[in-house]
Amino acid sequence: MLKIYNTLARQKQEFTPIEAGKVRMYVCGLTVYDYFHIGNARTLTVFDMVYRWLSASGYAVHYVRNITDVDDKIIDRANKNGEPIEALTARMISAMHEDTDRLGMLRPSAEPRATQHIGGMLKLIDRLVDKGMAYPADNGDVYYAVREFPGYGKLSGKSIDDLRAGERIAVNTAKRDPLDFVLWKAAKPHEPFWPSSYGQGRPGWHIECSAMCEAEHGETLDIHGGGWDLQFPHHEGEIAQSEGASGKPFVNYWMHAAFLNMDNEKMSKSLGNVFTTREVLNKLDAVQGGEVVRYFLLRGHYRSEINYTWDTLQDARASLLSLYNALREVPPAELAIDWSSPYAQRFRDAMDDDFNTPMAFAVLHELRGEVNRTRSAELAGLLRALGATVGLLGQDPASFVQGATGTADDAAEIEALIAQRNAAKQARNFAEADRIRDAIKARGIVLEDGAGGTSWRRA
């Protein structure tokens, strides 16, 4: 039985979907004004893993990950670039897909964009206004009346009385209460806008997810995920809006991924330690890099902070290479997972315990040791199949271990040098064999002599 740590309940709970065999899952996606950073990659990769495991467990998952394609950062960046907002967001969405593909992520079932759901947002705002839970202000904005929703703060554990003006909430004289948040922003010069009964304007941040959740899943969904920092105010705002409008529970299981730190410090532009995912990927081998980063992002439990340094990334690379080396040495049999196998059982038990990837990965490495010992193609096949449930070990083992060697001619040249070395050894010309070995080593290639001949990989 799958158990999920529910942020709202503050404990692990057995997962029971609204509809048997089906899962309605929504994850807050990216604001597409720039390349996404490695901290974003952690959250996106975590929920790709959740999507894959739920699917591997037999659920039909409708996985929705939204795209915010209008907000202050997008407007500012487009104005700075001197380009239309649509051109900026189209370019960044394309780049997002390129980088998530490199990380081995499956495309979500749906990727709704905020600008495609303005009508749904306005209908939701109308319902809240009609129920007295929102109000148009004199400045043309529409605000949510936080004190009209008794459950505000239940997700993050914050008390309304602790959120007073002058402490954490900026004073805005147009609001009835300083805690109230904007649902609809009145149009300003040089900003995009849409017509509405409240005047020309654009949506606030929180309302977009409530509207898109309802459009894709209805009034209640099974799982809602995002980064740890979204609990307040974003997810708190979503609950207030959606439950305020429907009177029904909005989400049954809330999941939040913890932060990724940079060299033991929180990522911060002021510290200059924010790296885009693309920058990190481009520093790594073209063949191995995407899966190395994925392995690194998943090997820590999703609710625990992880620390990014070049050394921790290289350690993840070495660990992943050890799995691929086992598959290279023992070609895996193609097989379906036999869940009665002790290894498969322990892997499933780990994943069903709130997606405990550290324990699941430990099982993979135990299985690797057994593959190396027994040379069993069936166990190698099980290793590969279990890895596939979380998006790992899907590449050709020999190609992965060898890595990117430039052109096909480069690989052919290495193979030719190995053949020359083997010929020199057979002729007992060991000095020449050593010279060729050193020349190959100078190209960053490691040779591995075994009973089946000589194989090679990048250092």
DSSP string for 20-79: TTEEEEEEEEEE-SSPPBHHHHHHHHHHHHHHHHHHHTT-EEEEEEEEE--SHHHHHHHH
Cis amide bond preceding 192, omega within 30? no
Alpha helices in 299-429 (DSSP H): 310-329, 342-352, 357-374, 377-388, 397-402, 408-426
Name the binding residues: 28, 209, 234, 238, 269
Residue where the block lists tokens 């069936």: 378
Gap between the Cα atoms of 101 and 278, Å rounded: 11
Gap between the Cα atoms of 361 and 364, Å rounded: 5
Q: For residue 297, with 0-12 CB atoms within 10 Å meaning exposed, 13-18 middle and 19 or more buried, which class applies?
A: buried
Name the binding residues for Zn(2+): 28, 209, 234, 238
Sign of CA dihedral 293, 97, 201, 129: negative
Q: How many CB atoms lie within 10 A of CB 333?
A: 14
Gap between the Cα atoms of 105 and 428, Å rounded: 50
The β-bridge relationship of strands 251-257 and 221-227 is parallel
Name the binding residues for ATP: 269
